[in-house]
Chain A
């Protein structure tokens, strides 16, 4: 930072140099610094999304140019496909579990460990750990846990004198098992958001409430939680947008089975669109996902006031 000492040089008489510098360097800088981001973003984000809308009007296997225009037929097929209904419903369940179980759990734990002590730090690290693990790795470990021959659930059932259950091959249990893993994987992330917010709550407010005789539960409910509302809104937004895109965890655990009962929108568009090279059909599912995400984002921001700027 020694170069900064030159600031001491008197500024008078340099005004025209400033002007010149501003003008001469400006356009070069613009032309060099901005285009890489614009080109990359347009080519790999905007264009593909526009393509998805375009492709969704065709019956197309991805080879040659799309020529077999079918209008809204792909969307019609989607709406008629019972597996797609299941996928939508499963995605909705993931959103509900995230909002109604995961977030309250994360908030409760955040209230227990937000103070800066060594043990709290340790617990925080542990709770946050699943979040940084790859979904595929987490999914594989949990498919072992739920395995009917080897798994932990089945040996627990054995110990209780029950027969083992092949959780992930069971219509009734496969999706609840997936939801469990998703709570396990992501609650730490939400907890961290709340902890950061709770540490920003002025200490004197909490102390004042305690002096007035408020119990810890009352302090949490009437002082701390209202003051971190913004953080809760933000984490809710992440929870919804994240739930819409669940894919990685499903593949190692059930791959959408048994008999297509655990698909989400994204596993659906992968299995029925890409794997079978029905690019048009899969694109229609992608457009539905896209519209849902954007629609929910707007609706959420409307109803919660300002959100999303994390």
Chain B
């Protein structure tokens, strides 16, 4: 039998190897952004000879970069807002109100869990165009919200079902209407699940590529993945510039991830609904 220390050493070695494969390319991109293109050719992986932040500063001073990020941010924020409000409203109905056909309508809305988004992309393009929404924020926000609804409703309903029933009874006795109850009790009590769904929806929207690619043509409204591909098209083989750009877009994602990670864990395990 192997001793515990050998086993643990082996374990740590495996973990470190995998971690370096995960982190390696990201670090190479970060370092690469500081290098000149000729240095990059001979030294693609390790630290740069000199830390020349020129590439980074050039991109940061370019208004386009910030416009792309701003567009993505607005679209993601609106998608989160709409998904939370519309999804929670529907889930509340299914959780609290008994009515004819409820089950069927719920199954209909949950169909989206199985549907591949890409299968709808051509007709979506036609629909968005016919509605006159091409090259507007709504061309991305509305379909994204619609496709996120199924999962949101599923998670919200599961959460609402667990809220204490006595609360509803008591409130109704006091003459509180369904609508008011939704607004002043259900929503405030559901912040953990709202946060969780919100974070997922935000990340998905922030990273979305296919939909913006299809419905946005005007550069001024590009989201950052489109802007990055545009940038790559302009600088083709100047990898140092491209790597700087990619790194700059990854940094906010990493920061958000580290911050939201805690929030998700806290949301799922902590506080919840004891009151």
Query: Which A residues fall within an 8 A CB radius of B?
Result: 1, 4, 6-7, 9, 11, 14, 17-18, 21-22, 24-26, 28-30, 32-34, 36-38, 40-41, 43-49, 51-52, 55, 62, 109, 112-113, 123, 125-127, 129-130, 132-137, 140-142, 144-145, 147, 149-152, 155, 184, 188, 215-216, 241, 244-245, 247-248, 251-252, 265-266, 269-270, 273-274, 279, 282-283, 286-287, 289-290, 293-294, 297, 308
Contact = CB atoms under 8 A, between A and B. Distances in A.
Interface in B143-165: 143, 145-147, 149-150, 153
A32 B250 CA distance: 40
Given A140-B246, A274-B121, A155 B89 contact: no
Contact of A293 (B40, B114, B250): B114
B209 A248 contact: yes
Given A142-B25, A293-B115, A49 B18 contact: no
Given A45-B115, A55-B123, A123 B19 contact: yes
B250 A28 contact: no
B173 A9 contact: yes
B53 interface: no
Given A134-B253, A251-B229, A286 B122 contact: yes
B261 to A, nearest CB: 7
B119 A150 contact: no
Given A133-B250, A155-B44, A37 B149 contact: yes
A288 B28 CA distance: 40
B142 A40 contact: yes
Contacts of B115: 45, 49, 290, 293-294
Given A30-B99, A247-B118, A49 B123 contact: yes
Given A21-B172, A144-B242, A184-B21, A215 B121 contact: no
Contacts of A37: 86-87, 89-90, 109, 149, 153
B122 A52 contact: yes
B266 interface: no
Contacts of A147: 239
B250 A137 contact: yes
Nearest to A145: B25
Contacts of B34: none
Given A129-B22, A133-B250, A4 B123 contact: no
B40 A45 contact: no
Contacts of B1: 215
Contacts of A216: 7
Contacts of A127: 18-19, 22
B232 A4 contact: no
Contacts of B23: 126, 129
B40 A150 contact: yes
Nearest to B206: A134
Q: Which of A25, A33, A129 has the most CB of B within 10 A?
A: A33
B84 to A, nearest CB: 12
21 contacts: A9-B173, A28-B178, A32-B179, A34-B89, A34-B93, A36-B86, A37-B90, A40-B145, A44-B143, A45-B146, A45-B147, A47-B127, A112-B11, A140-B232, A141-B246, A241-B114, A266-B118, A269-B118, A286-B121, A289-B119, A293-B114
A39 B41 CA distance: 54
A256 to B, nearest CB: 14
B123 A48 contact: yes
Given A17-B173, A136-B225, A247 B210 contact: yes
Nearest to B170: A7
